[in-house]
Amino acid sequence: MGMQVGGKSGGSLADMNVVPLIDILLVLLIIFMVITPTTPMGLEALVPQPSPPNAKEPDVLENKVVVVQVFSDGKVKINEEDSSWDTLGARLDQIFKLRAVGNKVAFVKGDERVYFQEVAKAIDIMRQSGIEQVGLLTPRMESSQ
């Protein structure tokens, strides 16, 4: 923008030189474009794969949240299905074999009178079966659902 001060008699002329300001603006724009990541960061998505045509229909248990219940009398159940300590790992392998890679999550629920040693034994078997995340269910957590 220009502004004339004085008359036609050759007074001083005050013009603002905006070229350096535009240069600074362009340099800043380039710097910010380089700094910002070019690839968007987000969550990884796993696309479900179709099952093979000859595969049998998966059990209802294999599609639900897996809860291993440990009772004080030594019994173990997987979602109300009776199991034993010897077959717990093999059955968990069978359940999680058809699930997606990132979907290996299970919970342990201990009876009121069971020792934590038995719960820790169940957690150890679950971790050996390849379950990545093991959660503990308490009565308070169940009542809030």
5 located within any domain = no
* Domain count within the chain: 1
Q: Where are the beta strands (DSSP E) in 50-129?
A: 66-70, 76-78, 81-83, 105-110
- Per residue in 4-24, pLDDT (tens digit) is 555 565 666 777 788 889 999
- Give the range of the structural domain holding residue 116, as residue numbers without chain letter: 61-143
Note if the pTM is more than 0.75. Answer: no
Look at residue 112 and tell me whether its pLDDT is greater than 60.
yes
Residue 66 lies in a domain: yes
Looking at the domain assignment, is residue 26 inside a domain? no
Residue 80 has pLDDT above 80, yes or no: yes
Residue indicated by tokens 């007074």: 11
Q: What CATH number has the domain bearing residue 136?
A: 3.30.420.270
> For all residues of the chain together, what is the average pLDDT?
77
Quick one: what percent of the chain has pLDDT higher than 90? 10
Position 62 pLDDT exceeds 50:
no
Q: With respect to residue 132, please indicate whether it lies within any of the assigned structural domains.
A: yes
